[in-house]
Chain A
Amino acid sequence: MATPFIELKHVYKSYGSVNALSDVNLTIEEGRVLGLIGDNGAGKSTLIKLIAGVHSPDSGEMWVKGKKVTHWSVAEARAAGIETVFQDRALAEQQSIARNIFMGRELTNAIGLIDVKRQREEAERLMREIGFTSKVFSPDSRVLTLSGGERQGVAIARAIYFKAQLVILDEPTTALSLTESEKVFAFVRQLRARGAASIFISHNIYHSYDVSDYFAILDRGRIVYTADKSEVPSADVLIRKLQTVARHGMLDIEH
């Protein structure tokens, strides 16, 4: 069993009378990809926001690296190395790749002048490492000249450079073609190879099955199914689980 990076124990969260999360128990492991699956309104975004420190739980415990967390905020989540890669909010399209990677954390000297040369070199090295193979790109290329999958790659390169411990990928392949999605999977595998934990959220079960090491299905605020990839022979098994859950509601909680 891999080392847990974050553990949620009996976590509850409600907005007014709506129970967004009920009795959630979940372990996020270092160096592995969690495929978080669930329908719209299942509680995926609430769960992410709790982990990213945007919201705090009503009750229940959160453990980070084996320590119980008493106070959790966006700043503390970031300090712990948690990065979120949003589908469309991550990048400034008219800026260069290098600028995007170092956005808000530029390499500057004492008077705020940017070490452009070093940023360019670091960006180039990162791009090559995570598999930007084409010769057409340079760190100075503007993001709007990149394809959808490559854009996710820039956001992931950023997470890698700043040594993210946990990367939350929120629907990173939703608007992408198959080849572009393949690129994103390769980038996610790079994250895993570097020992980072990641949460891969997708509506597309096939995408999730391809890239994830273990799975959790959320339904109406509850984790109704968790499994290691070794226990799930194919994506279709996951889809059947999801269909059962959708038809019968949360019946049997399996592990």
Chain B
Amino acid sequence: MKTELSGSHAGGSITETSAADAVNDIVMAGNKSKGGRPYFLEDPAVERVLNISMAIAADLAVLHERLDTIERLLEAKGHLKRAEIEAYVPDDAAAEERQAWHARFSARILRIVQQEVEAVANPENNVPMRTIADEINEM
């Protein structure tokens, strides 16, 4: 796999004549089109995060469709019935493990919000790092 931006058409050349093997599909798939990119939200940083979130949402949907395929194939081959999945009730130990997974998942995706709350709760822990650096220099 080549890592340089081979084949990127940035620079305005009309025709790329690099060999087919030099096509860097991973990078070129996301090449920017010509013209300045518009940002619609007041803060471009928010729009940047929105775009990353939508790409992750896309692949969550892809994963869901893949799981659905697996379930249907397993059912077709007689390995399970999807109704069993719908009716599945975990025993106490499994339920506990699953709830803990959900809790950790929630904590992962809301980490930044949790930390903002902690910042409000503990104002003494919000000293700018430059100040701390100067303080430590005196310690």
Are the chains A and B members of one assembly? no
